[in-house]
Chain A
């Protein structure tokens, strides 16, 4: 196979990461990665951060990526320099002010909210014919929203045309008649029989993006048909908003895609290739938002959640802290972190805040996903259903930890999985970069994902039982490779870690009590489970769902510390 090398750029609100891959030796491998400060503030050019990251990548890999004029070398003429092509994903930038316009609240708007949420949007207005506004009122709401993006749905296939016409007229006026800095982008994802009419009536040229109907029949959504249109609209908005992005796109001749979408691509691929009936989910707790992508069979769910910083969140954070802290202290920490997003916890107290906040953000992301996608297998009082394996964790506060045990515990407390699953960590935060390269060189992403690109944290076995605290709910026989056998009894409320060295295979026989469910399909049903050694090993979580925390602050903090100790963290 001819030698090829690729560059992937991931531009976040804080950091710009650059990754170099090549197929020296046959298969694609990661050559190295680097990180630089994102240069997005006023007066800056986004390219500066990219060149800085590439300069560092040059030093790390020894491969020349930038020419003497400071521009990237995009050529494969010389095997020691340049790259064949690049891919770019972007999460930096303010949320895109978005107007969601549909015919009905329940059907159209529900679908639009699901679609738009994954593309770094912020709902500035929701308009439907059921909102009780006449045409004038609707137009004024639209004008007030000052939306940069309008996503319009228009009924089921062969649905009525007339209601859509009046809405279209308002969008046309908004698009054409206001002294805006730049024209809004309009995405039409409604009745496909009206495509031509929409194109003709709106007169929005390249600012209009038409997709198939996301709701071909009532209450059934196929969001994927609108992704291309959303991607184009997202890119056009960001190119206008971010200084230097247009030049960057031209230099690399690469489409700019949302980081969340790139991450979703990886999750969809992993779900397709996973054995058995299980799906895959990934959660990235980022500086500004939490991204959740979950794929199971052919269905895909993707959301972005901005957890508000206020007293409510402060209360939740203080609830989940391993040290005693009051609501004001927790809120103060979060408000200051908002002002200084690069701040890193240097003291144990700060780390406890950070980890408690991560738990809350995970819970919030799952709750928000459930709100948007009622079919998502999560319930606040039950946790995440066992259909997802692995659960891939990503983001600074999950990756940058003193011990990976703490990552596992944050994930367990935040997600509260059920049954048997595996926790993995995107330690290098490379997932989105692979996703954005997937269309440039599909083989690269496939080969990289087949290798141990994610850190296997361990297998989690969750026991659900109505038993009282302290009662035996599960007996485990641990059969190690060297022939040793060990019997463990797990009681309700217990968190237990079984250490298994990396690469070592063990088998566990799970014998739950008759009322206990370990995810084998039925209460009381057990069986053999094969486990391969990982960073943390096997975690048995018999704490029940939902997790119950004592009301008293000292007792609560002590319990969380006890859990950390129980896992050896």
Chain B
């Protein structure tokens, strides 16, 4: 049985590993304070390669190649440096077309790695470096509130959080109010309208948080240059009350949106983080999977998507559901008082 966790927590320690996808150099030290955007680690790779065929290029015999080479493998070269040249009064010369390194001389060919491209990973939360991960990155920790979602378009940002539901008037109908959203993280219930996203982009909002999204917008969202995250996924479900309470607490304050693309293998989820002083400390096993009486859960699947409740009973025997499938159930008391039975696979455990 698979247990899905969703973190909606306030005043807790938040730790995130920031890692390069390949080997590189870690640019921070433990105990160092970092801000969003600070480089944590970077790797350097050649910007381009240049392969030169000496046999054909210099018109020499293959057995003469070695005697023409002026450089060693691994040696740094600058633009115009002679890499190889023939002997004689009028030597034929191969010069490096750019700054770089000689990486291979093989089979009559010289390969140069030219230029540099740097891939760096940067801090996406402000905090203190608590652990270095050799050649990959570091773990940053801070204190604050976190609200996770289930889908994101892979972008990050920060800004003051505003809930459109708190406005007396629909800002989409009021251009003055709309302009005030510039740089802010905008929260709205659902989004099925491409035009609304375009409008938000045109006023340069800092990010968008929605309860749910239409799958028809996916292609546009993946191309959009502002971070967007969905709290419950796709469809038309509204923001659940637990998330709503957290959003209200974050409203008007500077909040970080890391709209990570969800990854079941790395456990990465999109999230909103609001740094603040810690009010409690994590227990050792705080994130352990736990389905037990009293656990707060958020439901998945129609007609309950996004509704929140508490487990009040865990029958041991599987039950037959309306679909006809026999599944292990959990009895949930929803926040509105309704008691329902759902399969144990069809909810996320809320980690508060």
Q: Do A and B bind each other?
A: yes
Interface window among B123-131, B243-251, B316-324: B316-324
Residue among B51, B113, B218 making CB contact with A135, cutoff 8 Å: B51
Q: Are A342 and B44 in contact (CB under 8 A)?
A: no
Contact assessment for B235 and A332 in the assembled complex, using a CB-CB cutoff below 8 Å: yes
- Interface flags, B19-30, vs A, CB<8A=1, else 0: 001111000000
Known: A37-B2, A42-B267, A347-B302. A339 touches B151 (CB 8 A): yes
How many residues belonging to B are interface residues under a CB distance threshold of 8 Å?
59
Q: Residues of B with Cβ closer than 8 Å to A?
A: 1-4, 17, 21-24, 43-46, 48-51, 53, 103-104, 106-107, 109, 111, 113, 136, 150-151, 214-216, 218, 233-235, 262, 264-268, 289, 300-303, 305, 320-325, 327, 342-343, 345-346, 348
Indicate with 1 or 0, residue by residue over A20-46, a CB within 8 angstroms of chain B CB atoms. 000000000000000001001111000
In the complex, the answer to whether A331 meets B216 with C-beta atoms within 8 Å is: yes
Contact present for B235 and A179 (CB under 8 Å)? no
B17: nearest chain-A partner, CB-CB:
A42
Contact A177 B346 (CB under 8 A): no
Q: Is A522 an interface residue (CB 8 A)?
A: no
Complex Cα distance A404/B151, Å?
35
Neighbour of B266 across the interface among A41, A139, A172, A350, CB < 8 A: A41
For A351, give its contact among B22, B300, B325 (CB under 8 Å): B325
Given A135-B51, A140-B48, A140-B49, is A172 in contact with B323 using a C-beta cutoff of 8 Å?
A: no
- Inter-chain contacts of A349 with B (CB < 8 A): 302
For A352, the closest partner residue in chain B by CB is B323
Q: Interface stretch among A278-286, A395-403, A528-536?
A: A395-403
Asked if A43 and B267 sit within 8 Å, CB to CB, the answer is yes
Least CB distance, B347 to chain A, in whole angstroms: 9
A155 to B262, CA, bound (A): 42
Chain A residues within an 8 Å CB radius of B325: 344-346, 351, 400-402
- Closest-by-CB residue of A relative to B328 is A344
**Residues in B whose Cβ lies below 8 Å from that of A166:** 107, 109
CB of A335 within 8 Å of the partner chain: yes
Complex Cα–Cα for A140 and B113 (A): 10
Residue from the list B104, B214, B321, B322 in contact with A177, Cβ < 8 A: B104
Q: A350 near B113 (CB under 8 angstroms)?
A: no
* The residue from B24, B107, B113, B214 contacting A169, defined by CB atoms under 8 A apart: B107
A196-219 CB contact bits vs B (8 Å, 1 = yes)? 000001000000000000000000
Interface centre among B1, B266, B302 (most CB of A within 10 A): B302
In the complex, what residue of chain A is closest to B2 when comparing beta carbons? Answer: A342
- Could you tell me the distance in whole angstroms from the C-beta of A411 to the nearest C-beta in chain B? 18
- Let me know if A232 is at the binding interface, CB within 8 A: no
- A–B complex contacts, Cβ < 8 Å, 15 sampled: A40-B265, A43-B267, A94-B265, A140-B49, A166-B109, A172-B104, A173-B103, A177-B113, A181-B22, A331-B216, A340-B300, A341-B264, A345-B323, A346-B321, A348-B324
* Known interface pairs A40-B265, A42-B266, A347-B321; A179-B343 also in contact (CB < 8 Å): no
Give CA–CA (A40, B263) in the complex, Å. Answer: 11
A487 proximal to B (CB < 8 A): no
Q: How many Å from the CB of B345 to the closest CB on chain A? A: 4
